[in-house]
Structure 1
Amino acid sequence: MTRLEDAELERYARQLILRELGGAGQRKLKQARVALVGMGGLGCPAALYLAAAGVGQLTLIDDDIVSLDNLQRQILYTTADIGQPKVTAAAARLAALNPHVDLVPVQARLDADTAPALLDGQDLVLDGSDSFSTRLAVNRAAIAAGVPLVAGSIGAFDGQLGVFKGHAPPLPCYQCLVGPAVDRPGTSCADVGVLGPTAGIIGSLMALEALRELAAFGDSQAGTLMIFDGLAGRQRRVRLPRDPGCAACGHHSAAIAS
């Protein structure tokens, strides 16, 4: 059984007294391995909360470097980090926050060819990337690996978040939601802008759902989509159907059934 050190017992004291988590849940977190795809506006707050909560290993995947216009919303980084690889700067900051977490920085761009190897051995994948091609590759790799995918996205003042388990029919996968989507010009933060706290809200909720799946507390939100409207100050949750003809999980579920 995974043992919590005395320093960890003190560090996680406010979590350990939660009836829904306790020592058993904390040990599950310590054993867990999570891959974060994209260390931008969503990956930064998510990584901070996962590291602070004591997730045992975080693999940080991003090929970008820190730039000045990142700092308005990518809260892991400081002015001194400009020009440094995001994964390097992020790993240093997270290690300073919690030395009990094993950090694996991977300066690479995930695509359909590299996704299976990069996500191999993970217990959960958290996707905050900024292109549909990357998201679809992550989704397929998560289905093949049989692990949950927590995916978030943001616009100027709005965001959405879903937990996808396309490997576990009848639950839908990410592609059931978006279809065979392609990247569209003019839809990135650089084009439409974004308010920093919007990224913080969605990224923090992504961390919450990841912890829920790893430690098995509360009700899984798999199969639903949370939609946040920052301008109106509202949020709602809708249930997502599985697409039986989905090219990503439809064939996978058929293979399981046979």
Structure 2
Amino acid sequence: MASDPLSPEETRRYARHLVLKGMGGAGQQALKRARMLVVGAGGLGSPVVAYLAGAGVGRLGIVDHDTVSLSNLQRQVIHTEIGASKAASAGRFAHALNPHVETVVHALRLEAGNVAELVGRYDLVLDGTDNLATRRIVAASCQTLGLPLVSGAVSMFDGQVTVFAPGGPHFADLYPDEADDADLPSCEATGILGPLTGVIGTLMAMEAIKLITGIGEPLIGRVLTYDGKGGRFSEFSYEGTGLPSQILPPTSRHPRA
């Protein structure tokens, strides 16, 4: 997919990328060509949308069926209007931040019947949803279509990020089929510290940019975890079989997260 040369305004806007060794003009052009889909415009989706829009992603799709509630605003910092569609609100934020980014709003519930058609329009997917059912649907579609998937999760004070990509371990290797949403504590019951979603969501955006530009080593087959109370990052690898005892439940963000 070809893209137009950077305009003078874009050259000034992305100046810190253009002088960055390893990124430069080639990396910025790769971002401008990229089509990324953010699934969930809640706690994790907020920083993901903000940093991908700021970075100059060419097309940024945002899918979310939920509306903004007052309890969301403690961490879903791109929203301001109670009752507004989260997808539309996120789209307005992204456009206001960077009008050079094409924002595509999908204010709908992602389901087995529509996921392939929607995901198939993009080059890369970022999933910050709060339930295993949706995560499995998204992961299966990405696996079938051969698309990289950046996955983040948060719970209370802790979070994690990983990448599922063609040739690497699959979603089921990390989240076995027997894992069920009913066994996981809800955000409403246990709470969540607002800035935690910023930490993990920003790391998700970082992984997406790395994948598109070819910079660094993506978190494929590795889970980066963050202990917010201890202020520590750690990492473990997975391959072939899941490690459910080490996995944080994806129990925040939307709806009502």
Q: TM-score, normalised by structure 2?
A: 0.90
Structure 1 counterpart SS, 2:52: helix
Cα distance between partner residues in 1 of 2:37 and 2:161 = 17
SS in 2 for 1:184: helix
Aligned AA (2:212): L
Pairing 1:113-128 to 2, within 5 Å after superposition: 113-128=113-128
Pick aligned residue for 2:23 from 9, 21, 24 = 21
TM superposition shift of 1:186: 5.4
Cα displacement (A) at 1:210: 0.4
Report matched runs for 1:72-91 at 5 Å: 72-78=74-80, 81-91=81-91
- Selected match of 2:170 from 163, 170, 173: 173
Partners of 1:177 and 1:26 lie apart in 2 by: 32
> Residue 48 of structure 2 is aligned with which of 43, 46, 49?
46
Tell me if structure 2 keeps the 8 A contact 1:186–1:192. Answer: no
Match status 1:228 vs 2:230: no
- State the Cα deviation string for residues 14-60 of structure 1 (Å, max 9, x = none): 11111110000000000000011111000000110000000001110
Quote the RMSD (CA, aligned, Å). 1.3
Give secondary structure in 1 for the equivalent of 2:66.
coil
Secondary structure (helix, strand or coil) at the match of 1:226 reads strand
Deviation at 1:115, TM superposition (A): 1.2
Aligned match of 1:131: 131
Alignment-mate amino acid for residue 107 of structure 1: A
Q: How far apart, in 1, do the equivalents of 2:134 and 2:189 lie? A: 19
Q: CA deviation at 1:134?
A: 0.3
What's the secondary structure of 1:71's corresponding residue? helix
Residue 250 (structure 1) aligns with = none
Of 188-197 and 150-159, the range deviating more from structure 2: 188-197
Displacement after TM superposition at 1:232 (Å) = 1.2
Conserved 8 A contact 1:115-1:141:
yes
Could you list the per-position Cα deviations for residues 157-197 of structure 1 after superposition, in whole angstroms to 9, with x for gaps in the alignment?
A: 000110111x31xx102221011132226522212100001
The residue that corresponds to 2:239 in the other structure is 241
Q: Specify the alignment match of 1:162 in structure 2.
A: 162
How far 1:4 sits from its partner (Å)? 0.8
Is the 1:111–1:133 Cα contact (8 Å) retained in structure 2? no
Aligned to 2:249: none
- In structure 2, give the amino acid aligned to 1:208: M
1:206 corresponds in structure 2 to 204
Q: CA deviation at 1:234?
A: 0.9
Deviation at 1:74, TM superposition (A): 0.1
How far, CA to CA, are the matches of 2:118 and 2:173 in structure 1?
Answer: 23
Tell me, in whole angstroms, the C-alpha distance in 2 between the residues paired with 1:182 and 1:118: 25
CA–CA separation in structure 1 for the residues paired with 2:100 and 2:224 = 32
Identify if the C-alpha distance between structure 1 residues 157 and 37 changes in structure 2 by more than 3 Å, giving closer, same or farther: same
Q: Which runs of 4+ in 1 moved over 4 A?
A: none
CA distance in 2: counterparts of 1:20 and 1:237, whole angstroms:
25
When normalised by structure 1's length, the TM-score is: 0.90
The one-letter code matched in structure 1 to 2:200 is I
Whole-Å Cα distance in 2 between the matches of residues 242 and 147 of structure 1? Answer: 19
Q: Which moved more, 1:37-46 or 1:183-192?
A: 183-192
The answer (yes or no) to whether the contact 1:34–1:123 under 8 Å persists in 2 is yes
Aligned to 1:252: none
State the match for 2:38 in structure 1: 36
Distance in structure 2 (CA, Å) of the matches to 1:195 and 1:22: 36
| Counterparts of 1:84 and 1:76, CA distance in 2 | 12
Note if contact 1:130-1:188 (Cα within 8 Å) is conserved in structure 2.
no
The C-alpha deviation readout for 1:91-135, integer Å capped at 9, x for no partner, is: 111100000000011011112222111101211100000000000
Q: How many residues align?
A: 239
